[in-house]
C-alpha cells in the first residue's frame, strides 16, 4: 500500500476552501492531488455541498486539472438520501425538497414522490443548499414542519468560502426555518456525521486515511467521529487562531498552510498542539 506524509494510506479531502474557492483553484492544490494520485495514493472527495451532482463536481475537478472521476466524490445529498430511505417509506407520502434539482432527482431515484408545497401534506422535509432558494421555499418547508412533517438536512454549514468572500451556507437557511418552527432537523446527514468518511474509506480500502478540511466544526470533528486523523488547512474558513475556541470539542492532528505541505516530510511544527 502506497503511503504519504506520516504513513497515511489514503486522503479524504474536502473541496470548498481546500481544493477551490468558488470556481477558482487554491494555490498548489491541483498539483498536490495529482502527485498523490500519480503515486498510487487513493484520494476521495467528501463535501457537504449538496447543490451539485457528483458528476458535476467531478467534471469541475477535471476542468481544474485533477485526475479523478465521479466514483471518487461523495456529497451530503447522497448521505441524506441513505438516511431518508432508512427512516421513511416511499408509500407514506411525498417528500418536500427544499434544495437543488440534483437533490430532488436523487430522492426521486430512491422511489419517493417529491413536492414543493406544504398543502400536499409531505411526510418529511429534506433541506439542502441551493443558491436560488427564496422566501417561499423556506416558508413552504416551515409550513410542512408545523403540520407535523419530519425534517432532514443535508448539512448544517453556516458559511461557504467563495472567491469573493464568505457567504451564507445551508446551516444559515436551516436556522431560518428553525426560527419559524421552533424546532431543529432530526438528522443532519453531512459532516460532522462520520458516514461519508467511513463510506469512502471502505470503498477505497483505506485503513489509515488522513482527512483534510478547512473547518474544525465539520471536517475535523467529522474525522474524529470516524476515528481518523485530521489536518486543518488554512485556506478556507478556520485558521490557527480558531483552534483554541474548538479545543474543548476537537483538535486537529495537523495544521497546514496548504495542501502542498502533504508532499513534504512531516515536521513537529506542523502538529496543531503548537498552535
Nearest to 209 by CA among 11, 71, 23: 11
Catalytic residue selected from 14, 137, 217, 229: 14
User: Is residue 245 annotated as part of the catalytic site, yes or no?
Assistant: no
User: Is residue 229 annotated as part of the catalytic site, yes or no?
Assistant: no
Does the annotation list 14 as a binding residue?
yes
Sheet order of strands, 209-213 included: 73-75, 43-47, 10-13, 209-213, 229-233, 254-256
Look at residue 160 and give its three-state secondary structure: strand
C-alpha dihedral (31, 35, 40, 41), degrees to nearest 10:
-60
Task: Name the DSSP class of 265.
Answer: P
Does the annotation list 137 as a binding residue?
no
User: Is 208:198 a contact under the CB 8 Å cutoff?
Assistant: no
Does the annotation list 214 as a binding residue?
yes
Backbone angles phi, psi at 68, to 5 degrees: -145, -175
Does the annotation list 191 as a binding residue?
yes
Catalytic residue selected from 16, 157, 219, 229: 16
C-alpha cell at 196: 461519508
Residues of the binding site for Mg(2+): 14, 16, 214
Which residues fall in the annotated binding site? 14, 16, 191, 214
Q: Annotated catalytic sites, by residue?
A: 14, 16
Amino acid at each position: 500500500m502506497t503511503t504519504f506524509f506520516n504513513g497515511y494510506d489514503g486522503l479524504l479531502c474536502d473541496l470548498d476552501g481546500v481544493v477551490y474557492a468558488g470556481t477558482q483553484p487554491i494555490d498548489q492544490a491541483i498539483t498536490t492531488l495529482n502527485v498523490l494520485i500519480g503515486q498510487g495514493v487513493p484520494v476521495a472527495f467528501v463535501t457537504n455541498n449538496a447543490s451539485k451532482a457528483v458528476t458535476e463536481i467531478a467534471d469541475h475537478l477535471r476542468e481544474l486539472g485533477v485526475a479523478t472521476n465521479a466514483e471518487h466524490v461523495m456529497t451530503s445529498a447522497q448521505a441524506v438520501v441513505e438516511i431518508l430511505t432508512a427512516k421513511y417509506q416511499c408509500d407514506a407520502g411525498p417528500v418536500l425538497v427544499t434544495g437543488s434539482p440534483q437533490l430532488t432527482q436523487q430522492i426521486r431515484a430512491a422511489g419517493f414522490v417529491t413536492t414543493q408545497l406544504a398543502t400536499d401534506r409531505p411526510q418529511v422535509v429534506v433541506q439542502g443548499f441551493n443558491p436560488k432558494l427564496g422566501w417561499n421555499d423556506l416558508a413552504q418547508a416551515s409550513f410542512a414542519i408545523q403540520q407535523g412533517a419530519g425534517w432532514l438536512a443535508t448539512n448544517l454549514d453556516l458559511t461557504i468560502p467563495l472567491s469573493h468572500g464568505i457567504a451564507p451556507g445551508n446551516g444559515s437557511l436551516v436556522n431560518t426555518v428553525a426560527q419559524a418552527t421552533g424546532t431543529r432537523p432530526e438528522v443532519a446527514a453531512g459532516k460532522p456525521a462520520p458516514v461519508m468518511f467511513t463510506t469512502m474509506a471502505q470503498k477505497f480500502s483505506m485503513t489509515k486515511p488522513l482527512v483534510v478540511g478547512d473547518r474544525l466544526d465539520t471536517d475535523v470533528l467529522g474525522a474524529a467521529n470516524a476515528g481518523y486523523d485530521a489536518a486543518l488547512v488554512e485556506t478556507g474558513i478556520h485558521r490557527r487562531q480558531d483552534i483554541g475556541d474548538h479545543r474543548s470539542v476537537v483538535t486537529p492532528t495537523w495544521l497546514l498552510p496548504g495542501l502542498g505541505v502533504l508532499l513534504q516530510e512531516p515536521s513537529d511544527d506542523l502538529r496543531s498542539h503548537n498552535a
